[in-house]
Amino acid sequence: MRITALAGGVGGARFLRGLLRHLSRTTSPEHLEHEPVELTVIGNTGDDITLFGLRVCPDIDTLLYTLGGGIHEGQGWGRADETHHLAEELAALGATPQWFTLGDKDFATHVFRSQLLGQGMPLSAVVERLSARWGLGEQGVTLLPMTDTPVETHVVVADGDGSRAIHFQEWWVRHRAELPAERFVVAGLDRAAPAPGVLEAIRGADVVLLPPSNPVVSIGIILGVPGIRDALRGTRAPVVGVSPLVGGRPVRGHADVCLRTIGVAETSEAVAGLYADFLDGWLVDEDDPMRPRSGLEVVHRPLLMSSGEAAADLAGAALDTALRLRAGRTIA
């Protein structure tokens, strides 16, 4: 069975690790008919940034480290058992910025990636090399960046009487999304081509899942790569997503601020509206007021991924919803 997922960083990675856990504990899954599962993850590269001359892909790396077992569990990003000697020395050298935390092991990923990119290797091939280091293939996982084209999200913020654009990471990490944002500008997105395999993974999927990643700056950016949204509209696979909001607030991150910035209400219903043209199933929190509607199956489940088991339960519920929809289609 081919599962394809679109994913941002921490939330997406935890959901997908939950999915792998769910699949491994489901020894005789009702709907899987013992098929081996191929999971293709299409990762957001819209918040990539060049720091100290090195290309950093925060969401891709969070996916790699989380699925590969190297993540710092407490943070949700970066490597476990990390030191920061390189960054301390960069600070002594007066190098900037100093608001983006990079550990020594993490730096190796960026040095390695930058070297290969500098040699002309496309990002998707670099991600393949990184995936091998983290054993993703052994788990049946293929990680693809949404595009090999460099894309960078910038945030237009008020500045005195005018406004200025800062890199998304500066807004998100340095200013914790507290600097009032006027809009997001995704440089390069209109010219970006889906990375090799991305459209095929959506079109050829049996199930497409949207983890509870940020609908604006993660999933929203992936959907902005020309061709991807059309592929989702056209795929025969049911598309099932998980709301990132519980009680109008994101479980993690600043999805609410991002939604306000683009003029969308901070509700699961409004987020589903962003995906209306391709969404078939939608998991919302137990207390979410959203009701089912024509063409959209709404499932109420606890959304909090407070443990690996809870994440597996949530991912399992999303997968089961998709498989049920798929079975219904087959019957119909």
Binding site for a copy of itself (CB under 8 A): 52-54, 82-83, 85-90, 92-95, 103-105, 107-109, 111-112, 114-115, 118-119, 129-130, 132-133
Helix (H), strand (E), coil (C) string for 109-157: HHHHHHHHHHCCCCHHHHHHHHHHHCCCHHHCEEEEECECCCCEEEEEE
| Of 105 and 252, CB closest to a copy of itself | 105
- CB 75 to a copy of itself: min, Å: 17
| Of 89 and 159, CB closest to a copy of itself | 89
- CB 165 to a copy of itself: min, Å: 20
- CB 87 to a copy of itself: min, Å: 8
| Of 94 and 160, CB closest to a copy of itself | 94
| Of 15 and 107, CB closest to a copy of itself | 107
* Partner residues linked to 39 by β-bridges: 3, 141
With a CB cutoff of 8 Å and minimum separation 6, the contacts of 194 are 146, 147, 225, 226, 227, 228, 231
Residue 319 token pair: 């997968």
Residue type at position 118: G
Distance CA 238, CA 234 (A): 10
- CB 109 to a copy of itself: min, Å: 7
- CB 94 to a copy of itself: min, Å: 7
- CB 118 to a copy of itself: min, Å: 5
Are 195 and 146 a contacting pair, CB within 8 Å?
yes
Q: How many CB atoms lie under 10 A from the CB of residue 223?
A: 18
- The verdict on whether omega for the bond into residue 215 sits within 30 degrees of 0, i.e. cis, is no
| Of 92 and 331, CB closest to a copy of itself | 92
314's enclosing H/E stretch is: helix 308-331
With vertex at residue 103, the alpha carbon angle to CA 100 and CA 104, rounded to the nearest 5 degrees, is 140
- CB 220 to a copy of itself: min, Å: 31
Q: What is the DSSP letter of 188?
A: T
Show the beta-strand stretches assigned E in 139-226: 141-145, 152-159, 162-167, 181-187, 207-210
Distance CA 9, CA 218 (A): 8
| Of 134 and 282, CB closest to a copy of itself | 134
| Of 111 and 270, CB closest to a copy of itself | 111
- CB 193 to a copy of itself: min, Å: 25
Distance CA 243, CA 130 (A): 29
| Of 107 and 184, CB closest to a copy of itself | 107
Q: What is the dihedral of CA 14, 110, 154, 73, to 10 degrees?
A: 20
